[in-house]
Chains A and B, each alone.
Chain A
């Protein structure tokens, strides 16, 4: 398997929205490399003709009647985790900016 590089750690941290310090990157790089090397042992197992398992219940499509049921949380409950609300909505940072070509 490919060896993990510092650029890989930075790339992955970016994908996962983690801001890592230089010290953290230097600490995590050898630890993650060692773990990946260990799990890389799986490459040796013959898995020809085996289907992947993503869950063990054996259930497919669990349905129920499409009807309104009492909810375990109301609007106030759902918003109770933050003070940053407006008119019953969560307030978030803007993700779009003003058009500049107008």
Chain B
């Protein structure tokens, strides 16, 4: 390919229609990028060269560019089942597992014309905030390889920054889509719980798990979200509900609890600037209070391990995969923590208590959404941290997600937006949360914000 790789769906499809490049040439370029850099950054666990070329040749022959994701080179977090293509969940338990069927989101993305190119590294079983819990080694941040790309969808963020895919998929149980997007200068939506089917996605914590896309623009993320959302008959929590986009003046709440204590000054500054930009666009801001959200991470670290211990109970090495001795340290810790909080004598004090505090947080958040249309908050307290910095201290690692937990506990959507770079040249951004099924409002706000800041998609190399 003579030109540089296109960075958005529109550029890709315009180029294909105008014959500036073919789909096969696109695949050549992405594979070239993967072959050049993957060994160093450890982003892909499996590369699907044959599948990618087959789909690209079909597209070049048919010229069927009218589908929403025609020609869009895509890779999936390795927790999405892909029929006939190894799926590991980042764990040695599934190191040679070949699924007999594909996740709903994978089938929908491919039916919409996308070209699958491979499977992305992640923290094993999606347990982690840095990618360092992968049993296949850490992924490095393309913006600076001494830093983490964020987790657990570590490869999904890094593949975009390293220009190895046009879009990627992730799962978010407590920030695992938003954090890698934030640490890799990408846009991502953690959808409303029940907006996108989890069928064929390896379960982590079933009352919190969500499936969503990562891309480089709000428009691209919205396009993929519209492809994957909605009932499929295989996940009983999914409904086709949607909120109408509000046309009158939008009001955003600034929850003061998210801006106290350990927040890094550069993270705070990027949000202050975003608030100024949105104010100039006519968006109104209001300070709000969510006093119980300070307990969100504690609630999360009771409910999530409890559900993890149950979901990972099915891995017995009998029907597929290796035995339970193949679990890594983090999975073992969470299984034990969950088993403990559910065990006789501790259920009421930990699990039942956490479920009640969850209700308290939800009622506060619901009440605030009577006054405002969205909430602005950091994704994480700091910019990307160095590989190895938190790895020996699980509790410190868990606290990375202190601002992420609220959206999952409440089942509300959250849009992660990139907004700049730190003095060290590392990505900065923020999140916009909204009421259940208000994704369209968040997308409109995100577009307004990026237009007003003259945001442009960027890759590290």
Instruction: State the A residues within 8 Å of B (CB).
Output: 1, 4, 8-9, 11-13, 15-20, 24, 27-28, 31-32, 34-36, 38-39, 41-43, 45, 47, 50-57, 59, 62, 64, 69, 72-73, 76-78, 80-82, 84, 90, 92
The answer to whether A57 touches B411, judged by C-beta atoms less than 8 angstroms apart, is yes
Question: B327 contacts the other chain (Cβ, under 8 Å)?
Answer: yes
Smallest beta-carbon distance A49→chain B, Å: 9
Q: Is B398 an interface residue (CB 8 A)?
A: yes
Asked if residues A81 and B97 are in contact (CB atoms below 8 Å), the reply is yes
A82 to B97, CA, bound (A): 9
Contact B193 A57 (CB under 8 A): yes
Q: Which residues of B contact A36 (CB under 8 A)?
A: 337, 340, 350
CB distance from B350 to the nearest CB of A (A): 7
Decide if B98 is an interface residue (CB 8 Å cutoff). yes
User: What residues of B have a CB within 8 angstroms of the CB of A76 in the complex?
Assistant: 100
> Known: A1-B349, A15-B343, A56-B411. Is A35-B358 also a contact (CB below 8 A)?
no
Across the A-B interface, give the 7 residue pairs with the lowest CB-CB distance, nearest first. A81-B320, A56-B411, A77-B100, A52-B355, A47-B356, A62-B236, A72-B101
Q: Taking A16-B339, A18-B335, A64-B233 as contacts, is the C-beta distance between A35 and B410 under 8 angstroms?
A: no
**Interface stretch (choices B112-120, B243-251, B298-306):** B298-306
Q: Considering the complex, which residues of chain B in the window 232-261 have a beta carbon less than 8 Å from any beta carbon of chain A?
A: 233-234, 236-237, 239
The reply to whether B357 and A47 form a contact with Cβ atoms under 8 Å apart is: yes
> Given A18-B332, A32-B336 in contact, is the A57-B327 Cβ separation under 8 Å?
no
A16–B309 touching, CB < 8 Å: yes
Beyond A57-B411, A73-B100: 7 further Cβ-contacts under 8 Å?
A16-B336, A28-B329, A53-B359, A55-B193, A55-B237, A80-B98, A81-B320
Question: Are B337 and A32 in contact (CB-based, < 8 A)?
Answer: yes
Which residues does chain A contribute within 8 Å of B355, judged by CB atoms?
Answer: 52-54
Is the Cβ of B233 less than 8 Å from the Cβ of A69? yes
At the interface, yes or no: B286 with Cβ under 8 Å from chain A? no
Q: In the assembly, what is the distance between CA of A79 and CA of B187, in Å?
A: 39
B299 touches A20 (CB 8 A): no
B66 on the interface (CB 8 Å rule)?
A: no
Q: Which of B100, B234, B336, B350 contacts A9 (CB 8 A)?
A: B336
> A45 to chain B: closest CB distance in Å?
5
A90 touches B335 (CB 8 A): no
A8 to B336, CA, bound (A): 10
Q: What CA separation (Å) do A38 and B398 show in the bound complex?
A: 11
Please indicate the chain A residues that have their CB under 8 angstroms from the CB of B353 in the complex: 42-43, 45, 47
In the assembled complex, the Cα of A32 lies from the Cα of B305 at a distance in Å of: 12
Task: Name the residue on A nearest B399 (C-beta).
Answer: A38
The answer to whether B298 and A41 have CB atoms under 8 Å apart is yes
B207 sits at the interface (CB 8 A): yes
Q: Do residues A28 and B320 form an inter-chain contact, with CB atoms below 8 A?
A: no
Contacts of A56 in B (CB 8 A): 193-194, 207, 362, 409-411, 436
Shortest CB–CB separation between residue B325 and chain A, in angstroms?
A: 6
Indicate if the CB atoms of B337 and A35 lie closer than 8 Å.
yes
Cα of A42 to Cα of B98 in the assembled complex, Å: 42
Closest chain A residue to B302, Cβ basis: A39
Contact with A along B160-197 (1 / 0, CB 8 A): 00000000000000000000000000000000011000
Pick the contact of B395 from A11, A31, A64 — CB < 8 Å?
A: A31
Contacting pair A31 B333 (CB below 8 A): yes
With both beta carbons as reference points, the residue of chain A lying nearest to B345 in the complex is identified as A2
Shortest distance from the beta carbon of B432 to any chain A beta carbon, whole Å: 19
How many angstroms from the CA of A32 to the CA of B343 in the assembled complex? Answer: 15
Of B239, B349, B398, which contacts A59 at CB under 8 A? B239
Give CA–CA (A81, B318) in the complex, Å: 9
Counting CB contacts under 8 A, is B288 at the interface? no
B98 nearest in chain A by CB position: A80
B394, CB-defined interface residue at 8 Å: yes
Partner of A45, one of B292, B395, B398: B292
B324 within 8 Å of A (CB atoms): yes
Q: List 29 A-B contacts (CB under 8 A).
A: A1-B349, A4-B340, A13-B336, A17-B324, A18-B327, A34-B394, A35-B337, A36-B350, A39-B298, A42-B299, A42-B302, A42-B353, A42-B354, A45-B353, A47-B353, A47-B357, A50-B357, A51-B356, A52-B359, A54-B355, A56-B410, A57-B411, A59-B194, A77-B100, A78-B100, A80-B98, A80-B320, A81-B100, A84-B318
